[in-house]
Amino acid sequence: MTDSLSIQNVTYKRGMKTILHDANLTLAPGKIVGLLGENGAGKTTLMRLITGSAKGAGDITVNGDAAEADRKRHVSFSEQLRGFAGNTKLTRIVDFYETVYGDFEAERFTELATFLQIDTSLKLAALSKGMKEKLVIALTLARRTNLYLLDEPFSGIDSMSRKKIINSIIQWKPENATMVISDHYVSEIAPILDEIVIVKDQTIYAHRQADEVREEFHIGIEAYYESLYERGNDND
Per the CB < 8 A criterion, the answer to whether 174 and 144 are in contact is yes
Through-space distance between the first and last CA atoms of the chain, rounded to whole angstroms? 40
Q: Which one of 26, 163, 226, 233 is in contact with other proteins (CB under 8 A)?
A: 163
Secondary structure element (H or E) that encloses residue 204, with its range: strand 203-209
Nearer to other proteins, 103 or 211 (CB): 211
CB of 111 to other proteins, least distance (A): 14
Residue 221 touching other proteins (CB under 8 A): yes
Residue 158 touching other proteins (CB under 8 A): no
Q: What are phi and psi of 79, to 5 degrees?
A: -65, 145
Secondary structure element (H or E) that encloses residue 130, with its range: helix 129-142
CB of 19 to other proteins, least distance (A): 30
CB of 176 to other proteins, least distance (A): 11
What whole-number distance in Å separates Cα of residue 56 and Cα of residue 232?
26
Residue 191 touching other proteins (CB under 8 A): yes
What whole-number distance in Å separates Cα of residue 145 and Cα of residue 59?
21
Q: Which one of 11, 18, 24, 30 is in contact with other proteins (CB under 8 A)?
A: 30
Residue 211 touching other proteins (CB under 8 A): yes
Residue 192 touching other proteins (CB under 8 A): yes
Nearer to other proteins, 107 or 236 (CB): 107
- Is 15 exposed, middle or buried, given 0-12, 13-18 or 19+ CB atoms closer than 10 A? exposed
Secondary structure element (H or E) that encloses residue 178, with its range: strand 178-183
Q: What are phi and psi of 53, to 5 degrees?
A: -80, -15
Q: Which one of 36, 138, 166, 199 is in contact with other proteins (CB under 8 A)?
A: 166
Q: Which one of 79, 208, 220, 229 is in contact with other proteins (CB under 8 A)?
A: 220
Nearer to other proteins, 12 or 172 (CB): 172
Interior/surface letters 176-190, b for 16+ CB within 10 angstroms, e for the rest: ebbbbbbbbebeebb
Binding part of the chain for other proteins, among 12-20, 57-65, 125-133, 208-216 by CB under 8 A, reads: 208-216
Residue 159 touching other proteins (CB under 8 A): no
Nearest to 147 by CA among 116, 114, 166, 173: 173
* Residue ranges that bind other proteins, judged by CB under 8 A: 30-32, 163, 166-167, 170-171, 173, 175, 187, 190-194, 210-211, 214-215, 218-223
